[in-house]
Amino acid sequence: MNPCMRCGACCALFRVSFDCHETDNFRGGVVPFHLVFALNGTRSAMKGTEKRPIRCAALIGIIGMSVHCAIYDRRPTTCRQFLSAGENNTFNPLCDRARATYGLMPLSNF
Ligand code: SF4
Ligand code: SF4
């Protein structure tokens, strides 16, 4: 089972920003515009990640138990590139840090 399905910590710890052209009000964009706010002229971010406590507006479920992304197929590049620690031998200390914030065990084998 994908460990992210029982985690969600990174979706509730970091600001999730990305190129503003990834939203669906631009041709080729997929991220739902209504779930996004403008950071500046070139960057947007997921609503809910601009204020504390941080929690992405697309995150469904209970962190550390059972979660999913409501826009999984339309999530921004930032999320697609954020691999869980250890996935494909990935070194991702931010994953472990997010998990630790929510009292979850690290996934790294390093
Ligand atoms: S913190 Fe790591 S394990 Fe948890 S949802 Fe994010 S990538 Fe997945
Ligand atoms: S868009 Fe989905 S994967 Fe990205 S931070 Fe929000 S809930 Fe997590």
Enclosing H/E stretch for 62:
strand 59-62
Centre of ligand 2 from the C-alpha of residue 97, in Å: 17
| pLDDT interval class at 67 (50, 70, 90) | very high
Quick one: which atom of ligand 2 is closest to the CA of 56?
6
Q: Is 19 left (phi over 0), alpha (psi -120 to 50) or beta?
A: beta
Q: Is residue 110 scored above 70 in pLDDT?
A: no
Q: Which residues contact 98 (CB under 8 A, 6 or more apart)?
A: 9, 10, 12, 13, 14
**Spatial distance between the Cα atoms of 34 and 59, rounded to a whole number of angstroms:** 14
Can you give the residue ranges of every domain in the chain?
3-101
Q: Which of 2, 5, 6, 7 to mutate to test the pocket of ligand 1 (most atoms within 8 A of CB)?
A: 7
Compute the distance from residue 42 Cα to the ligand 1 centre, in Å: 27
Per-residue pLDDT tens for 52-61? 999 999 999 9
Whose alpha carbon is nearest atom 5 of ligand 2? 11
pLDDT tens-digit map of 40-53: 999 999 999 999 99
**Whether the CB of 71 sits within 6 Å of ligand 1:** no
What does the mean pLDDT of the chain come to? 96
